[in-house]
């Protein structure tokens, strides 16, 4: 499902995860109104025992950026399982969300129900939002399998089922638009307190179907890839 978002001030790319989390919370709140429970695996990403799903089988909440780097849409998709009627209705009910306290309320409007068969198909994919590797790479001797390029290729192969070529992985310099909490080694340098993010380009020999979302917080808008245009090929 695709929604447009409107407000006095649209959030920037740095708010991708917060906006996605707020949309998830609104979905669960609406589901509870409809059913009396928040026990929806697809909407919550949690198993019946409360533990998080590690197999990426739940819904993705994907804020999209306009040409000015501001969030203008949110796409909610469940690639591996269809939403139940109650889950779909709960998502449709969302009309507003507050992503960071007072003054950050956004109006939400459903513009398309969409279908997974309408998802883009391509061989050449480029970052649409920052890619953040699942594990930090410290440059430690003997751990070159943790380089961002290798983490990206390994995760792609595991999730998509085919191999890919990583054309390039470019660090995003300056203010990285995402801060992710994680366990930090005592010996970790202070400069790496903020997890590094990257722009990346991927190619495959055969076309694959999107949505293609990889890396840390992929279910909350990070690591989105889009088909590259002819000028970017």
Higher-confidence residue of 123 and 146: namely: 123
Query: pLDDT tens, 17-37?
Result: 999 999 999 999 999 999 999
Residue 183, pLDDT score: 45
- Are residues 224 and 146 part of one domain? yes
Provide the β-strand partners of residue 171. 198
- Are residues 93 and 33 part of one domain? yes
- Are residues 209 and 109 part of one domain? no
- Averaged pLDDT for residues 28-57: 87
Domain hosting 180: range is 120-232
The secondary structure of residue 219, as a DSSP letter, is G
- Are residues 130 and 102 part of one domain? no
Domain closes at, from 117, 145, 164: 117
* pLDDT exceeds cutoff 80 at 127: yes
The closest of 77, 95, 72 to 12, measured between CA atoms, is 72
Residue 37, pLDDT score: 92
Query: pLDDT tens, 32-41?
Result: 999 999 999 9
- Are residues 203 and 159 part of one domain? yes
pLDDT band at residue 190 using 50, 70 and 90 as cut-offs: very low
The closest of 124, 91, 94, 116 to 203, measured between CA atoms, is 124
Residue 80, pLDDT score: 83
What is the C-alpha separation between 127 and 170, in angstroms, rounded? Answer: 10
- Residue entry with tokens 């990206």: 152
- Are residues 225 and 174 part of one domain? yes
Residue 223, pLDDT score: 92
* pLDDT exceeds cutoff 80 at 182: no
The secondary structure of residue 142, as a DSSP letter, is T
Query: pLDDT exceeding 90 applies to what percent of the chain?
Result: 47
- Are residues 212 and 113 part of one domain? no
Residue 193, pLDDT score: 47
- Averaged pLDDT for residues 184-202: 64
Domain closes at, from 100, 117, 134: 117
Lowest mean pLDDT among 12-16, 24-28, 63-67, 172-176: 172-176
Query: pLDDT tens, 162-171?
Result: 889 998 888 8
What's the angle, vertex CA 169, arms to CA 163 and CA 170, rounded to 5?
170
> 64: part of which helix (H) or strand (E)?
strand 60-65
pLDDT band at residue 139 using 50, 70 and 90 as cut-offs: low
pLDDT band at residue 137 using 50, 70 and 90 as cut-offs: low
Residue 103, pLDDT score: 86
- Are residues 58 and 84 part of one domain? yes
- Are residues 169 and 83 part of one domain? no
Query: pLDDT tens, 75-114?
Result: 999 988 899 999 999 999 999 999 988 888 999 999 988 7
- Are residues 87 and 135 part of one domain? no
Residue 169, pLDDT score: 86
Residue 57, pLDDT score: 84
- Are residues 206 and 113 part of one domain? no
Domain count, the chain: 2
- Are residues 218 and 147 part of one domain? yes
Token pair recorded at residue 128: 């649409």
Please state, as a whole number, how many other Cβ atoms lie within 10 Å of the Cβ of residue 48: 7
Domain closes at, from 80, 102, 117: 117
Cβ-Cβ contacts under 8 Å for 229 (sequence gap 6 or more): none
Question: In the sheet that 224-227 helps form, which strands lie side by side, from edge to edge?
Answer: 165-171, 198-209, 121-127, 224-227, 212-213
């Amino acid at each position: 499902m695709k929604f447009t978002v409107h407000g006095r001030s649209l959030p920037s790319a740095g708010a991708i995860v917060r906006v996605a989390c707020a949309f998830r919370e609104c979905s669960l709140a609406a589901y509870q109104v409809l059913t009396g429970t928040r026990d929806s695996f697809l909407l919550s990403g949690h198993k019946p025992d409360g533990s998080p799903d590690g197999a990426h089988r739940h819904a993705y909440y994907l804020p999209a950026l306009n040409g000015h780097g501001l969030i203008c849409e949110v796409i909610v998709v469940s690639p591996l399982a269809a939403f139940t009627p109650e889950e779909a209705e709960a998502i449709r009910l969302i009309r507003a969300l507050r992503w960071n306290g007072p003054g950050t309320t956004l109006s939400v409007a459903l513009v398309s129900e969409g279908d997974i068969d309408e998802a883009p198909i391509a061989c050449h994919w480029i970052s649409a939002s920052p890619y953040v590797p699942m594990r930090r790479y410290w440059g430690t001797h003997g751990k070159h399998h943790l380089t961002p390029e290798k983490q990206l290729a390994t995760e792609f192969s595991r999730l998509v089922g085919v191999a890919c070529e990583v054309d390039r992985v470019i660090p995003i310099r300056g203010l990285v638009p995402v801060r992710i909490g994680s366990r930090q080694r005592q010996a970790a340098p202070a400069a790496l307190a903020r997890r590094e993010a990257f722009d990346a380009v991927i190619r495959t020999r055969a076309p694959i179907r999107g949505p293609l979302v990889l890396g840390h917080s992929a279910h909350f808008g990070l690591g989105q890839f889009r088909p590259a245009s002819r000028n970017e090929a």
